[in-house]
Amino acid sequence: MSKPIEMTDEIRALRARMKDFIDDVVFPAEPELEREAEHDNHPETGLPLELYAAAKTRGDDTRRGMRGPGTDVAARRAGGRMAELKAEAKRRGLWALGHPKSIGGGGLPFMDFVYLNEIIGRSEYGQVAVGSVSMQDSIMLDLYASPEQRERFLQPLVAGDVYPSVGLTEPEVAGSDPTLMQTTARLDGDEWVIDGHKWFTSGASRAADTPGYLIQRAVPTMGHVGGQHCEVVYDHVRVPRSNLLGKRGEGFRISQKRLGPGRIFHCMRWLGQAQRAFELMCDRALTRHAHGSLLAEKGAIHTMIAESAAEIQAARLMTLDAARVMDTGSEARVEISLIKFHGAKMLHNVIDRAIQVHGALGVTSDRPLDRMYREARYGRLYDGPDEVHHMVVARNLLKGYKDRAPWS
């Protein structure tokens, strides 16, 4: 029998404090953070100019691609703004609350963090500002890292001194089918030697300075390079044998341990984004006058508000249910695939309607909706396109459609 979904008084109070920080401190900083992410990049490759400076100092040939600068370019190039937000989050006791206590986090139970993530997600910069951007990586490392790996990678990750990036997708083969991956790793003495070609490795321009890891460009997406979704060539990259996470041959299973909670966190963040778009839509409808009445008095606008409310409520309950099932130790494969495609579509629809109610203002950068819409569109692709999640749901349910559905 399933337990009802509950939120404790403590988590309600924490959500209120988090909302003050996100709405009052992070929201006003967003235009500056967006400008900084898009500027000071190389005009042809979209990569941070700091990468070129570091390559020049080393005397590298930048035409083949560039090694990481070896420091946190993103934090430095935020011109101190993101660093200020991180410091403020720490001052307010809001830093890394979901990471395990044993590695410097706040130790919030999974379900409490799920509720908190809904508030963090109101701003797309929220998760970096409060140190939760690496939650899914930290959960995976906490399960599988050796003591040496914990010290070397996990602690700086939780402290916000380094950022994770994940290189799975390759331009030559379908990223939605990991069995097609062409990158190879062969053991040579005490080192793995990696050769391959990746793209959409988000945040790769913050990578460590590793010979053979050649960052070629930040692939522009919908006219922007701020996400730093990079194309990277691995040319005989040598990695110490001891860096292998878990046992040889277990990589796919371990990566699933990262993706499951990650999808719940995405969906809760999306609910925060949808709630923000919903608020913007209602504010605008209550203040804009046309054809003899406020927009808020027109039937067509009522439909948009009501449809959005229904979709948000449904996605929220489905996401909390999936989180609850995962919290029992289950992989929750059907539940997670359901919320991944349903949540992404909900987000897209709600932001689209909010833009419509704003008229032309909705697609300007005077409002956050244009940025939010772009991110929402990506949500239907990353961590598995809609159709792959349809496939997972349908295949599982076809094996036992009378008793395997989440509502059975």
Ligand X SMILES: Cc1cc2nc3c(=O)[nH]c(=O)nc-3n(C[C@H](O)[C@H](O)[C@H](O)COP(=O)(O)OP(=O)(O)OC[C@H]3O[C@@H](n4cnc5c(N)ncnc54)[C@H](O)[C@@H]3O)c2cc1C
Interface positions with ligand X (CB under 6 A): 166-169, 174-176, 200-202, 221, 227, 229, 378, 381-382, 385, 387-388, 391
Residue 234 in 3-state DSSP? strand
Rounded least distance, CB 379 to ligand X, Å: 8
Rounded Cα–Cα distance for residues 358 and 367 (Å)? 9
Rounded Cα–Cα distance for residues 33 and 80 (Å)? 10
Looking at the Cβ atoms of 210 and 221, the one nearer to ligand X is 221
Nearest to 168 by CA among 403, 381, 408, 400: 381
Rounded least distance, CB 230 to ligand X, Å: 9
Rounded least distance, CB 173 to ligand X, Å: 7
Looking at the Cβ atoms of 69 and 226, the one nearer to ligand X is 226
Angle between helix 27-38 and 81-91 (nearest 10): 150
Looking at the Cβ atoms of 115 and 200, the one nearer to ligand X is 200
DSSP string computed for 275-336: HHHHHHHHHHHTT-EETTEEGGGSHHHHHHHHHHHHHHHHHHHHHHHHHHHHHTT---HHHH
Rounded least distance, CB 164 to ligand X, Å: 9
Rounded least distance, CB 183 to ligand X, Å: 11
Rounded least distance, CB 319 to ligand X, Å: 20
Looking at the Cβ atoms of 166 and 239, the one nearer to ligand X is 166
Rounded Cα–Cα distance for residues 136 and 256 (Å)? 10
Looking at the Cβ atoms of 80 and 171, the one nearer to ligand X is 171
Residue 7 in 3-state DSSP? coil
Rounded Cα–Cα distance for residues 275 and 368 (Å)? 13
Whole-Å CA distances, 84 to 25, 77, 179, 293:
10, 12, 42, 44
Looking at the Cβ atoms of 25 and 166, the one nearer to ligand X is 166
Q: Which residue is nearest to ligand X (CB)?
A: 175
